Chain A
Amino acid sequence: MSDTRIALVSAAVSGILFGFGLSVARMTDPQKIWNFLDLGAIPSGRWDPSLAFVMIGGIIVAFFGLRLDRWLGLAKPIAAAAFIKTSRTRVDAPLLIGAAIFGVGWGLSGFCPGPAIADLGLVPGDVYLFVIALFVGSWVAGQFLEWSEPSRTSNTTNAAATTSAL
């Protein structure tokens, strides 16, 4: 198989595993997200810390997984030209503002991007409206960012520009 094919099979396997994990952990259910975010439920004993366990489980594996390339001495990925990650290190205003806006939307809907897309075709209702709005919002904000910091985006390659969003 060519590298391109291997990369697509890998993307499919990774996507299926990711969706499977979200579903097993019931992160596909906004109610479950609200029950975690609702700290006001702690006194009554109805708080649900499950989401924290999902994150810890993910981080335990990814902590090692994202270092394996260096530990194994891989100069490049198995089926791609280079490992691509963000070069940004500074905590800046867009990071804080963006994360705050995202947090409000996440809290009010119980949906972050992964679970919303994973629910397409599975959960009855209008989740697709959320997903369409997600794409539109991301595109509009991307246009705004390109306009507001042209020097940065024009100096980076396509690949680097797309991954600067982690």
Chain B
Amino acid sequence: MQNFTPLSATVGGLLIGLATTILWLVNGRTAGISNIAGGIYPVRRGDELWRFVFLVALPVGAWLGFVAAPSIFAEVPRTLPVITLSPAWLVGTGLLVGIGTRVGRGCTSGHGICGLSRLSVRSFVAVGTFMVAAMIAVFIVRHVV
């Protein structure tokens, strides 16, 4: 398991759990990214600003993490992720993720972190379904095609 980074992965997860806790206790909201993003348009007075602030803060935090993490964890690379996908592929897969998370009402954060924490049956089913679907898709692309 040459790429395995258990320490930074667990600490990153704990921080995501903390972010989820803050948004719940202070804002009374579930930190599901697809819901926060999906609810931003059409604009609902009084319900859009916090979503916008959260979504803008997300890349700011990611940038801080990118700068800080390699000096804290030797296992975290200093190089930026490289995106190898073509524009058409990005648009196509973005549409699938947008449609799927809206129809299935949640993504890796909403169902995966919040829903599983709440022991929601719907979320257990959703996580099992999207994990299997994603694993099949990756298997086909990497080992069959």
Contacts and interface: CB of A to CB of B under 8 A. Distances in A.
Nearest to A62: B117
Contacts of A102: 96-97, 99-101, 104, 107, 130, 133
Nearest 6 Cβ contacts at the A-B interface: A57-B13, A137-B98, A98-B104, A61-B17, A25-B12, A103-B133
A23 to B, nearest CB: 3
Interface in A144-166: 145, 158-159, 162-166
B60 interface: yes
Interface of A: 6-8, 10-32, 34-35, 37-41, 45-51, 53-66, 68-69, 74, 76-86, 88-91, 94-109, 111-114, 116-127, 129-142, 145, 158-159, 162-166
Interface in B76-117: 76-77, 80-83, 85, 87, 89-117
A134 B17 contact: no
Given A39-B139, A142-B38, A21 B10 contact: no
Given A16-B61, A22-B65, A141-B98, A101 B16 contact: no
14 contacts: A10-B27, A12-B57, A24-B11, A28-B62, A37-B135, A56-B13, A99-B100, A99-B106, A99-B133, A102-B96, A103-B132, A126-B87, A130-B91, A145-B103
Contacts of B2: 45-46
Interface residues of B, number: 121
B43 to A, nearest CB: 11
Nearest to B125: A91
A158 B62 contact: no
Contact of B33 (A24, A107, A113): A113
Interface of B: 1-6, 8-35, 37-41, 44, 47, 49-51, 53-66, 68-69, 72-73, 76-77, 80-83, 85, 87, 89-118, 120-123, 125-127, 129-139, 141-143
Contact of B137 (A8, A10, A108): A108
B141 A126 contact: no
A54 B112 CA distance: 10
Given A7-B50, A99-B125, A99-B133, A162 B17 contact: no
A90 B37 CA distance: 24
Contacts of B54: 11-12, 14-15, 18
Contact of A95 (B35, B59, B63, B104): B104
A66 B61 contact: no
B95 A114 contact: no
A22 B62 contact: yes
B88 to A, nearest CB: 9
